[in-house]
Chains A and B, each alone.
Chain A
């Protein structure tokens, strides 16, 4: 079955959505991500939508669901690279995706995740291996 690949980078999961997803594929992605977050004990999920030319309300809700589920599993989600035309259309549709953190690109998205995860680790009193400066 067709699936969207999920890459693991240490504590983070990276998903690049490049195809025009049909609904079942989007739901499969939701499931897969939830499983992988647990499996990898991931602290952060980065979803790259810079290739997506269309984001309708279903995809929007899928992204929101992914963010909520990840949060429940103590992982932070960031959606990066939304195209201007897509942003304009989503706003016109009435979707502002309030619960979702966004960033311009993969680089700033990862920066955000590292900072947030580091903050969480501090407040949890957990001292993990610090790989960032």
Chain B
């Protein structure tokens, strides 16, 4: 076991007292965190450091023994961020443990300059890494929130509409990138299963450009739908897009395409054995509406 870890174990109480005192004396956000919470946080972190299994060394914080501490710090970072703390403020929480540990180091090894230097360097490295870990966790946590919000936005912006029994439509609006197309693909296929639809119309009137990648994604979606037992019709192909498709050599041979959504709908109705008929209103009595129509 590393020397300073042993020293921490032996001097746990005094280190904790010293640390929490420092934390409270610094101009901190008393409005966001009360003393009791601060005490609990410090106690938990110090325990996680002191109680680490004997074989674990401080030079590799990715070792399995440090997992509980890392998780604790990651959670703390995220919780504090939610409370309104900046990532630096949370990092400082960790870094402020340094003076307490340096004091213990000087008590233990003050007489041997070489030894003292080694242990202080080790403590320094270790706490720096932990502080950086809290910052990474904060960023990672925020990235995840952003990613989730993006997904939700994507889902909202790609609503699948039921046009009729067994016929759904997906009007795509805006640019299609890889991430968006994945989400789109999954929502369409999910909708096909949920609504039991044999026909899905993908309308790209609102898509400004179609490049090879986008076309590939659309084709994958269409193939997946076919594997599930549903037929896709691609509609809303504007003249420019048609040209691009031909120029890029994209093969849409196996795909049914219609320039207008209405045509696609009519086709789907026909294929599902339905017909739209005009009902003749002029029979028998002269039924003039008040407006003379």
Q: How distant is B195 from chain A, measured CB to nearest CB, in Å?
A: 10
Size band of the interface chain B makes with A: 10 to 19
Judged by a CB distance under 8 angstroms, whether A90 is at the interface is yes
Residues of chain A within 8 A (CB-CB) of B228 are 82-84, 87, 102, 104
Residues of chain B within 8 A (CB-CB) of A96 are 223, 226-227
Residues of chain B within 8 A (CB-CB) of A102 are 226-229
Judged by a CB distance under 8 angstroms, whether B185 is at the interface is yes
The answer to whether B189 touches A87 (Cβ under 8 A) is yes
The one of B190, B193, B197, B220 in contact with A91, judged by C-beta atoms closer than 8 angstroms, is B220
The answer to whether A104 touches B193 (Cβ under 8 A) is yes
Judged by a CB distance under 8 angstroms, whether A127 is at the interface is no
A73-92: contact bitstring with B at CB < 8 Å (1 yes, 0 no)? Answer: 00000001111101110111
Q: How distant is B138 from chain A, measured CB to nearest CB, in Å?
A: 33
The one of B186, B193, B224, B230 in contact with A90, judged by C-beta atoms closer than 8 angstroms, is B224
Residues of chain A within 8 A (CB-CB) of B230 are 104
State A82–B198 Cα separation when bound (angstroms). 13
B175-202: contact bitstring with A at CB < 8 Å (1 yes, 0 no)? Answer: 0000000000110011011001110000
Chain B interface, DSSP helix/strand/loop, else mixed:
helix
Judged by a CB distance under 8 angstroms, whether B225 is at the interface is yes
Contact residues of A between 92 and 133, Cβ < 8 Å to B: 92, 96-97, 102-105, 108-109
The answer to whether B196 touches A82 (Cβ under 8 A) is no
Name the residue on B nearest A109 (C-beta).
Answer: B229
Residues of chain A within 8 A (CB-CB) of B192 are 84, 104
The answer to whether B227 touches A105 (Cβ under 8 A) is no
Residues of chain B within 8 A (CB-CB) of A82 are 227-229
State A81–B192 Cα separation when bound (angstroms). 11
Residues of chain A within 8 A (CB-CB) of B197 are 104
The answer to whether A84 touches B198 (Cβ under 8 A) is no
Residue among B185, B189, B224 with most chain A CB within 10 A: B224
Q: How distant is B25 from chain A, measured CB to nearest CB, in Å?
A: 56
Residues of chain B within 8 A (CB-CB) of A91 are 220, 223-224, 227
Contact residues of B between 205 and 243, Cβ < 8 Å to A: 220, 223-230
Residues of chain B within 8 A (CB-CB) of A81 are 229
Q: How distant is B68 from chain A, measured CB to nearest CB, in Å?
A: 33
The answer to whether B189 touches A80 (Cβ under 8 A) is no
The answer to whether B229 touches A84 (Cβ under 8 A) is no
State A126–B197 Cα separation when bound (angstroms). 34
Residues of chain B within 8 A (CB-CB) of A86 are 227
Name the residue on B nearest A95 (C-beta).
Answer: B227
The answer to whether A87 touches B196 (Cβ under 8 A) is no
Name the residue on A nearest B219 (C-beta).
Answer: A91
The answer to whether A88 touches B229 (Cβ under 8 A) is no
The answer to whether B185 touches A88 (Cβ under 8 A) is yes
Residues of chain B within 8 A (CB-CB) of A97 are 227
State A91–B227 Cα separation when bound (angstroms). 9
State A86–B224 Cα separation when bound (angstroms). 9
The answer to whether A84 touches B220 (Cβ under 8 A) is no
Residues of chain B within 8 A (CB-CB) of A104 are 192-193, 196-198, 228-230
State A92–B197 Cα separation when bound (angstroms). 23
State A104–B197 Cα separation when bound (angstroms). 8
State A32–B230 Cα separation when bound (angstroms). 29
Residue among A81, A86, A104, A108 with most chain B CB within 10 A: A104
State A97–B228 Cα separation when bound (angstroms). 11
The 7 closest A-B pairs by CB, nearest first: A84-B189, A87-B224, A103-B229, A104-B229, A102-B229, A87-B227, A91-B224
Residues of A within 8 A of B (CB): 80-84, 86-88, 90-92, 96-97, 102-105, 108-109
Task: List 17 interface pairs A-B (beta carbons < 8 Å), by A numbering.
Answer: A82-B228, A83-B193, A83-B228, A84-B186, A84-B193, A84-B228, A86-B227, A88-B186, A88-B220, A90-B224, A91-B224, A102-B226, A104-B192, A104-B197, A104-B230, A108-B198, A108-B229
